[in-house]
Amino acid sequence: MTQNIPLAVGLVLIGSFCFALSAHLQHRAVDTHLGGNAHKEQMSFRSFLQAVRSTRWMLGLVLLGVSAVFQIVALSMAPLSVVQPLGLLAFPWSVLLAAHATRTWVPPRIQLAVAVTVAATLAFTIVTSIHASAGSDLVIRRVVIGALVVYAVVGLFSTLGGRGPHKWRSLFWSSGGALFYGLEASLVKSIIEYVRSHTWPYSAAIYGIVVALVVGAVAAGWLIQQGYATGPAEVVVGSMTVTSPVVAVAFGILVLGEGVGITPTAAALMMALGAVAITGVIALARFHPTHDHGGHGLGSTAAGQLKR
């Protein structure tokens, strides 16, 4: 498929909303089944199986699939370092969805944080679309090393999610899932580039990447469900949309060679815009009134705070 960055950006924008709505629905299903999980305990597999029987959870899964399809199509039309950062917009979407669901008002400082995050992300995407290489320099050995590094970090985050401080367990679980999601986008891009330049059905390398892709997808889903079980959907989506683009952009530049056209000035500007976007997300998490209220989004205790 030929390069079409504007269309790819549009698909990812729609996909980011589908992802935020998916998170909102699945979190509601898990949180309702666990009764809020005030002690932030790890969800058992049995409890998970019971939660997924909810129609709300299944609808969320369908929307997650739609989001994934849009992202895959977008990756075939634009560089990874352009496509993945736009996923950050799922965080503002999730805050607005929670406010709409609970019929509450979003405070001005949260509105400002959302605006800063969106503006910085869009600016970051424009800079990368101008300077990122349209092609990739695919070296399987680098792909394998990059994937192993991500798997090791995810193992650490999973341990902290299960045994770390209660307040931060949701953040650790969801960040681990986000690392996998960033890697998933990177591996999909690797497969696309490999198929374009190799006779892929006869290569062991492509099958290895596919196995890593499937294992990572399943593990990411499980980690994200644990994030829903131990915190509000907005915190989960926020941590995912910060970590995932960083992993994908780093993978695209360091592993796939998409950074060959990035000048020192462009790199500095990308770093500055990335820092501003991350600051906006941190502000959203910092000012979110339900971070310590049992994971009910912007409802329950938050409602009174938001209406003041």
pLDDT for 303 beyond 70: no
Q: Which residue has the higher pLDDT, 223 or 198?
A: 223
pLDDT class for 114, splitting at 50, 70, 90?
confident
Cβ-count burial 200-229 (b if 16+ within 10 Å, e if not)? eeeeebbeebeebbeebbebbbbbbbbbbb
Q: Is the pLDDT of residue 295 over 60?
A: no
Q: How many CB atoms lie within 10 A of CB 102?
A: 18
What average pLDDT does the segment 163-171 reach? 80
Residue 267 token pair: 């790199």
Instruction: Give tens-digit pLDDT for 32-55.
Output: 877 655 556 778 888 888 888 889
Has residue 181 got a pLDDT over 70? Answer: yes
Average pLDDT over residues 160-171: 81
For residue 170, give the nearest of 215, 228, 212 by alpha carbon: 228
Average pLDDT (139-161) is: 88
| Residue 202 pLDDT class (50, 70, 90 cuts) | low
How many percent of the chain have pLDDT more than 70? 83
**99-102: long-range pairs with CB below 8 Å, 24+:** 99/298, 99/306, 101/24, 101/297, 101/298, 101/299, 102/297, 102/298, 102/299, 102/302, 102/303, 102/306
pLDDT at 146 over 80: yes
Q: Is the pLDDT of residue 185 over 70?
A: yes
pLDDT at 35: 66
Q: Which 8-state DSSP code applies to residue 89?
A: G
Question: How does residue 213 score in pLDDT terms, banded at 50, 70 and 90?
Answer: confident
pLDDT for 121 equals: 77
> Is the C-alpha dihedral spanning 223, 228, 229, 232 positive or negative?
positive
User: Using CA of residue 132, residue 138, residue 142, residue 143, what is the dihedral sign?
Assistant: positive
Confidence of residue 292 (pLDDT cuts 50, 70, 90): very low
Residue 38 near residue 230 (C-beta atoms within 8 A): no
Q: Is the pTM of this model over 0.75?
A: no
How many Å apart are CA 139 and CA 211, to the nearest integer?
Answer: 18
Alpha-carbon distances of 297 from 30, 259, 289, 307, rounded to whole Å = 13, 38, 9, 15
Specify the length of the chain in residues.
308
> Does the pLDDT value for residue 308 go beyond 70?
no
Residue 257 scores a pLDDT above 80 = no
Is the distance from CB of 138 to CB of 187 less than 8 angstroms? no
In three-state secondary structure terms, 41 is: coil
Query: Is the pLDDT at 301 greater than 60, yes or no?
Result: no
More confident residue, 219 or 306: 219
Q: What is the pLDDT of residues 51-82, one digit of tens each?
A: 888 899 999 999 999 998 998 898 888 876 67
Residue 183 CA to chain centroid, in angstroms? 10
Q: How do residues 6-26 score in pLDDT, each as one tens digit?
A: 898 899 899 999 999 999 999
User: Quick one: average pLDDT of 108-131?
Assistant: 79
Pick the range with the lowest mean pLDDT from 169-183, 220-234, 281-295.
281-295
CA angle 118/29/70 to nearest 5° reads 45
* The pLDDT value given to residue 63: 95
* For helices 140-163 and 204-230, angle between their N-to-C axes, nearest 10 degrees: 20
